[in-house]
Chain A
Amino acid sequence: MSSTKRYWKDLAELHQDPEALAGRENEFPTDLPIDQVLGDPKFNGATTGRRDFLKFLGFSVSAATLAACETPVVKSIPYVNKPEEITPGVATWYASTYYDGDDYASILVKTREGRPIHIMGNPRHGLNNDAKAGKGAINARINSSVLALYDSERVKGPVMRHEGGFMPHSWEEADKAIMGKLDELSKAGKRIVVLTGTVISPATRQAIDKLKNRFGGSTVEQEDGLEVSMGGRVDHVQYDTISYAGLTRANKACFGKAVMPSYDLTKADVLVSFGADFLSTWGNTTEHTWQYAQRRKPEGGHMNRHWQFEARMSLTGANADVRVPTLPSALPKAIIALHDHLAKKAGASTVGGASAEMSEATAKVADELWAARGKSLVLAGANDEGVQTLVNHINWMLGNYGQSIDMAGHSWMKQGDDAAMDRLVQDLNAGKVGAILLHGVNPVYSLPDGASFAAGLAKADLSVSFSGHADETASHCAWICPDNHYLESWNDLMPRVGHYALAQPVISPLFNTRQWQDSLLAWSGADMGYHQLIKSTWEAAMTNYGSMTSFENAWNKAVHDGVFHAYDAEAVELTFTGDLSGAAKQAALMPGQGTFEVELYTSPALGNGLHANNPWLQEMPDPLTKVTWDNYVCMAPSDMEQLGLQTYLGQESPASLVTLSVGDRTLELPAVPLPGQKPGSVSVALGYGRGANGERVGRAACLSDDDGNPVPVGRNAYPMTRMSGSAVSYVTAGELTATGGTYPIGITQTHLTDMDRHSVVKEVDLKTFLTADKEVYNHPHELAVHEDVNGDGVVDARDKKSVLEFDLWNAHAVEGVGHRWGMSIDLNSCIGCGACITACNSENNIPVVGKDEVRRSREMHWMRIDRYYSSDMTKERAQEEGLGKIGMYLDMEVPSEKPSVVFMPVMCQHCNHAPCETVCPVAATTHSNEGLNQMTYNRCIGTRYCANNCPYKVRRFNWFNYVTEKFGEVNPAWDEVGRMVLNPDVTVRSRGVIEKCSMCVQRIQAGKIAAKKDGSPVKDGDIQTACSSGCPTSAITFGDLNDEGSLVRQLATSDRAYHMLEEVGVQPNVNYLVKVRNTEEAAHGHHA
Chain B
Amino acid sequence: MPLPARFSRVFTGLFHAVLTLLLIASLSGLQAQDVDQALYDAGEKVFKGNCASCHKPDANMTGPALKGARERWDGKGDIYAWIRNSQEYLKTGNEYANKLFEEWNKSVMTPMALSDEEIDAVLYYADNYAPPAPKGGGDVAQAPTGPTDAGSLWPWMLVLILLFVVVALSLTGVKKSLANAVQEAEGREPLPDRTFVQSVQEWAWNNKGLATVIGLAVTVWVVLALWNFAWTIGVYGGDEVAHYRPEQPIAFNHTLHAGSAGDGNLAINCQYCHSGAEKSKHAGIPSANVCMNCHQAVNQGRTEAGTADIQKIYAAVGWDPETMKYTGEPEPIRWVKVHNLPDHVYFPHDAHVAVAKLECQECHGPIDKEMTVAEQWAPLTMGWCIECHGDKAVKLAGTDNGYYEEMHRRLIENEKLGHRELKKWLEDEKVTVKELGGWECAKCHY
Most chain A C-beta atoms within 10 Å of own C-beta, residue among B246, B420, B441: B441
Q: Is the CB of B410 within 8 A of A818?
A: yes
Indicate whether B306 reaches chain A with its CB closer than 8 angstroms: no
- The chain A residue with its CB closest to the CB of B244 is A71
Collect the chain B residues with CB atoms within 8 Å of residue A988's CB: 343
Contact with B along A418-442 (1 / 0, CB 8 A): 0000000000000000000000000
CB distance from A984 to the nearest CB of B (A): 9
Task: Give the distance in Å from the alpha carbon of A78 to the alpha carbon of B233 in the complex.
Answer: 29
Near B by CB (< 8 A), chain A positions 905-964 give 926, 928-930, 932, 934-939
Q: Is the CB of B440 within 8 A of A76?
A: no
Near B by CB (< 8 A), chain A positions 39-55 give none
Task: Give the distance in Å from the alpha carbon of A1005 to the alpha carbon of B345 in the complex.
Answer: 13
CB < 8 Å: which of B355, B404, B436, B437 contacts A1009?
Answer: B355
Q: Is the CB of A73 within 8 A of B246?
A: yes
Near A by CB (< 8 A), chain B positions 326-364 give 330-337, 340, 342-344, 346, 348, 350-351, 354-355
- The chain B residue with its CB closest to the CB of A928 is B440
Q: Is the CB of A77 within 8 A of B335?
A: yes
Q: Is the CB of A817 within 8 A of B411?
A: yes
Collect the chain B residues with CB atoms within 8 Å of residue A80's CB: 287-289, 316-318, 330-333
Task: Give the distance in Å from the alpha carbon of A1018 to the alpha carbon of B405 in the complex.
Answer: 11
Indicate whether A543 reaches chain B with its CB closer than 8 angstroms: no
Interface range on chain A (Cβ under 8 Å from partner): 35 or more
Near A by CB (< 8 A), chain B positions 137-194 give none
Indicate whether A884 reaches chain B with its CB closer than 8 angstroms: no
Contact with A along B392-424 (1 / 0, CB 8 A): 000000001111111100110110011011000
Q: Is the CB of A1002 within 8 A of B282?
A: no
Near A by CB (< 8 A), chain B positions 275-295 give 275-276, 278-282, 284-290
Given A75-B337, A932-B442, A939-B441, A818-B401 contact (CB < 8 Å):
no
Indicate whether B209 reaches chain A with its CB closer than 8 angstroms: no
- The chain A residue with its CB closest to the CB of B351 is A1009
Q: Is the CB of A938 within 8 A of B446?
A: no
Which one of A86-94, A658-666, A969-977, A1060-1068 is at the interface?
Answer: A86-94
CB distance from B428 to the nearest CB of A (A): 18
Indicate whether A79 reaches chain B with its CB closer than 8 angstroms: yes
Collect the chain B residues with CB atoms within 8 Å of residue A76's CB: 285, 334-337
Q: Is the CB of A1015 within 8 A of B400?
A: yes
- The chain B residue with its CB closest to the CB of A72 is B340
Indicate whether B48 reaches chain A with its CB closer than 8 angstroms: no
Given A88-B276, A1009-B351, A77-B440 contact (CB < 8 Å):
no
Task: Give the distance in Å from the alpha carbon of A985 to the alpha carbon of B404 in the complex.
Answer: 25
Contact with B along A988-1020 (1 / 0, CB 8 A): 100000000010011001001101111111100
Q: Is the CB of B346 within 8 A of A1002?
A: yes
CB distance from B389 to the nearest CB of A (A): 13
Q: Is the CB of A938 within 8 A of B445?
A: yes
Indicate whether A82 reaches chain B with its CB closer than 8 angstroms: yes
Collect the chain A residues with CB atoms within 8 Å of residue B400's CB: 1015
Task: Give the distance in Å from the alpha carbon of A78 to the alpha carbon of B284 in the complex.
Answer: 8
Indicate whether A22 reaches chain B with its CB closer than 8 angstroms: no
CB distance from B434 to the nearest CB of A (A): 10
Collect the chain A residues with CB atoms within 8 Å of residue B332's CB: 77-80
Task: Give the distance in Å from the alpha carbon of A266 to the alpha carbon of B278 in the complex.
Answer: 45
CB distance from B421 to the nearest CB of A (A): 5
Q: Is the CB of B401 within 8 A of A1015?
A: yes
Collect the chain B residues with CB atoms within 8 Å of residue A930's CB: 437
Indicate whether B47 reaches chain A with its CB closer than 8 angstroms: no
Given A88-B284, A1013-B355, A817-B442 contact (CB < 8 Å):
no
CB < 8 Å: which of B236, B290, B442 contacts A928?
Answer: B442
Q: Is the CB of B402 within 8 A of A1015?
A: yes
Given A74-B336, A75-B336, A87-B276, A81-B414 contact (CB < 8 Å):
no
Collect the chain B residues with CB atoms within 8 Å of residue A935's CB: 441-442
Collect the chain A residues with CB atoms within 8 Å of residue B418's CB: 816-817
Indicate whether B443 reaches chain A with its CB closer than 8 angstroms: yes
Task: Give the distance in Å from the alpha carbon of A80 to the alpha carbon of B286 in the complex.
Answer: 9
Q: Is the CB of A71 within 8 A of B234?
A: yes
Q: Is the CB of B337 within 8 A of A74?
A: yes
Task: Give the distance in Å from the alpha carbon of A1015 to the alpha carbon of B331 in the complex.
Answer: 41
Indicate whether A586 reaches chain B with its CB closer than 8 angstroms: no
Q: Is the CB of B440 within 8 A of A81?
A: no
Q: Is the CB of A71 within 8 A of B443?
A: no
Q: Is the CB of B437 within 8 A of A82?
A: no
Task: Give the distance in Å from the alpha carbon of A467 to the alpha carbon of B17 in the complex.
Answer: 73
Collect the chain B residues with CB atoms within 8 Å of residue A1017's CB: 402-403, 405-406
CB < 8 Å: which of B288, B354, B437 contacts A78?
Answer: B288
Indicate whether A641 reaches chain B with its CB closer than 8 angstroms: no
Collect the chain B residues with CB atoms within 8 Å of residue A813's CB: 417, 420-421
Contact with B along A1017-1055 (1 / 0, CB 8 A): 110000000000000000000000010000000000000
Q: Is the CB of B410 within 8 A of A81?
A: no
CB < 8 Å: which of B233, B287, B441 contacts A936?
Answer: B441
CB < 8 Å: which of B285, B289, B342, B346 contacts A81?
Answer: B289
- The chain B residue with its CB closest to the CB of A844 is B446
Indicate whether A986 reaches chain B with its CB closer than 8 angstroms: yes
Q: Is the CB of A817 within 8 A of B421?
A: yes
Given A936-B441, A1018-B403, A1009-B348 contact (CB < 8 Å):
yes
Collect the chain B residues with CB atoms within 8 Å of residue A796's CB: none
Indicate whether A815 reaches chain B with its CB closer than 8 angstroms: yes
- The chain A residue with its CB closest to the CB of B407 is A818
Given A82-B289, A87-B280, A88-B280, A1013-B441 contact (CB < 8 Å):
no
Task: Give the distance in Å from the alpha carbon of A936 to the alpha carbon of B343 in the complex.
Answer: 13
Given A77-B332, A80-B289, A89-B276, A1011-B403 contact (CB < 8 Å):
yes
Task: Give the distance in Å from the alpha carbon of A817 to the alpha carbon of B404 in the complex.
Answer: 12
Task: Give the distance in Å from the alpha carbon of A877 to the alpha carbon of B332 in the complex.
Answer: 77
Task: Give the distance in Å from the alpha carbon of A817 to the alpha carbon of B409 in the complex.
Answer: 10
Collect the chain A residues with CB atoms within 8 Å of residue B420's CB: 813
Q: Is the CB of B446 within 8 A of A998?
A: yes
Collect the chain A residues with CB atoms within 8 Å of residue B350's CB: 1009, 1013
Indicate whether A69 reaches chain B with its CB closer than 8 angstroms: yes
Task: Give the distance in Å from the alpha carbon of A89 to the alpha carbon of B331 in the complex.
Answer: 23
Task: Give the distance in Å from the alpha carbon of A935 to the alpha carbon of B445 in the complex.
Answer: 8
Task: Give the distance in Å from the alpha carbon of A390 to the alpha carbon of B287 in the complex.
Answer: 67
Q: Is the CB of A934 within 8 A of B441?
A: yes
Q: Is the CB of B284 within 8 A of A87?
A: yes
Indicate whether A642 reaches chain B with its CB closer than 8 angstroms: no
Task: Give the distance in Å from the alpha carbon of A73 to the alpha carbon of B417 in the complex.
Answer: 49
Task: Give the distance in Å from the alpha carbon of A73 to the alpha carbon of B340 in the complex.
Answer: 9
Q: Is the CB of A1013 within 8 A of B287?
A: no
Collect the chain B residues with CB atoms within 8 Å of residue A81's CB: 287-289, 317, 330
Q: Is the CB of B446 within 8 A of A1012?
A: no
Indicate whether A987 reaches chain B with its CB closer than 8 angstroms: yes
Task: Give the distance in Å from the alpha carbon of A386 to the alpha carbon of B240 in the complex.
Answer: 86
Q: Is the CB of A82 within 8 A of B336?
A: no
Collect the chain B residues with CB atoms within 8 Å of residue A1001's CB: 442, 446
- The chain B residue with its CB closest to the CB of A998 is B446
Residues of B in contact with A (beta carbons under 8 Å apart): 233-234, 236, 244, 246, 275-276, 278-282, 284-290, 316-318, 330-337, 340, 342-344, 346, 348, 350-351, 354-355, 400-407, 410-411, 413-414, 417-418, 420-421, 436-437, 440-443, 445-446
**Additional 10 contacts, C-beta under 8 A, given A78-B332, A987-B445, A1012-B355:** A74-B336, A77-B335, A78-B288, A928-B443, A929-B440, A986-B446, A1005-B348, A1011-B403, A1012-B403, A1014-B402
- What are 29 A-B pairs at a CB distance below 8 A? A69-B233, A73-B337, A76-B337, A78-B335, A79-B332, A80-B287, A80-B288, A87-B275, A87-B284, A90-B280, A815-B414, A818-B437, A926-B440, A926-B441, A929-B436, A935-B442, A936-B441, A937-B445, A938-B344, A938-B445, A939-B441, A986-B446, A987-B344, A987-B445, A1002-B346, A1008-B403, A1012-B404, A1016-B403, A1017-B403
Residues of A in contact with B (beta carbons under 8 Å apart): 69, 71, 73-82, 87-90, 813, 815-818, 926, 928-930, 932, 934-939, 985-988, 998, 1001-1002, 1005, 1008-1009, 1011-1018, 1042
